[in-house]
């Protein structure tokens, strides 16, 4: 899927795979703790990546919501053991 539409925190959002890859390329996010999304071979902490891509505050969504959107875009989502 190339884009995902969703409503969070009372507002509509549309995220495209191209936009995600562009915003995460070279992004300096914190270390991956438990959940990651992979973009261009680089693992990013999933909540920080989702916040960067959507503009949402980290406290306005949970990890599972971010995982769902990234998976729907066809991105690799992993859990670090």
Question: How confident is the model at residue 75, as a pLDDT?
Answer: 97
pLDDT in the model for residue 6 = 86
- What is the C-alpha end-to-end distance of the chain, expressed in Å? 28
> Tens digits of per-residue pLDDT, 35-61?
999 999 999 999 999 999 999 999 989
pLDDT confidence of residue 81: 82
DSSP secondary structure, 63-80, as one string: HHHHHHHHHHTT-EEEE-
* Percent of the residues in the chain that have a pLDDT greater than 70, as a whole number: 99
The pTM for the full model equals 0.91
């Amino acid at each position: 899927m190339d884009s995902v539409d969703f409503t969070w925190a009372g507002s509509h959002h549309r995220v495209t795979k191209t936009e995600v890859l562009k915003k995460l390329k070279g992004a300096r996010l914190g270390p991956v703790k438990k959940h990651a999304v992979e973009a261009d071979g680089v693992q990013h902490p999933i909540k920080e990546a989702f916040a960067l891509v959507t503009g949402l505050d980290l406290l306005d969504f949970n990890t599972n919501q971010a995982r769902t959107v990234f998976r729907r875009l066809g991105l690799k989502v992993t859990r670090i053991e």
